Amino acid sequence: MGRDTIADIITSIRNADMDRKVTVRIASTNITETLLKYFYGKVLSKTNRKGAYRTILNLKRISRPGLRIYSNYQRIPRILGGMGIVILSTSRGIMTDREARLERIGGEILCYIWGVLPGMKEQKWIHEGLITESLPNGMFRVRLDNENMILGYVSGKIRRSFIRILPGDRVKIEVSRYDSTKGRIIYRIRNKDSNN
């Protein structure tokens, strides 16, 4: 079985970032040099400008030897609404999603990169909705007050408190601005609360 050099690079960088290491030793190849140029040139220069902040670098391998993922330039995903970077392997070499869109070429999606500064919380919206269907593993289909249907999952606090949620219950659901198709059920509205 062959080695996945890109996954090795990503794992080494992720582990070094979690361990707060200053240096990382990686085998030198053309792919590693190009990837490191993007990792440290584009991501860390944006997130670590002043040096006072500690970034949490997130790297996710997408295309792998067992399952290659390709995309044309119009369908390249936007990570965190454009705040992250998608690295692609194209016919013109390895490039970011922005460069591929400008040159109008697609390719193999190698990985996603995004960084988060401490104290920066993801903005979330809280909606009220009605449970329409119960699904396995604590998942529910929820109809929001604006008639959108989304997938809801039970938060840990509700699960730990053994609060039972059934179809027909009204709930408060927390939805991320980056993925509006699913949300976290944070509160079950009692009948007397919903009448007021």
**Residue 40: its pLDDT value, please?**
65
pLDDT in tens, 16-61: 877 877 787 888 888 888 877 776 665 444 444 444 445 567 788 9
Rounded to an integer, what distance in angstroms lies between the CA atom of residue 168 and that of residue 161?
A: 20
How many CA atoms within 13 Å lie on the side-chain side of 165? 33
Please give the mean pLDDT across all residues of the chain.
81
Candidates 58, 61, 60, 9; CA nearest to 35 is 9
pLDDT in tens, 113-155: 877 645 555 667 899 999 999 999 889 999 998 888 999 999 8
Candidates 113, 31, 103; CA nearest to 72 is 103
User: Is residue 143 a contact partner of residue 172, using CB atoms and an 8 Å limit?
Assistant: no
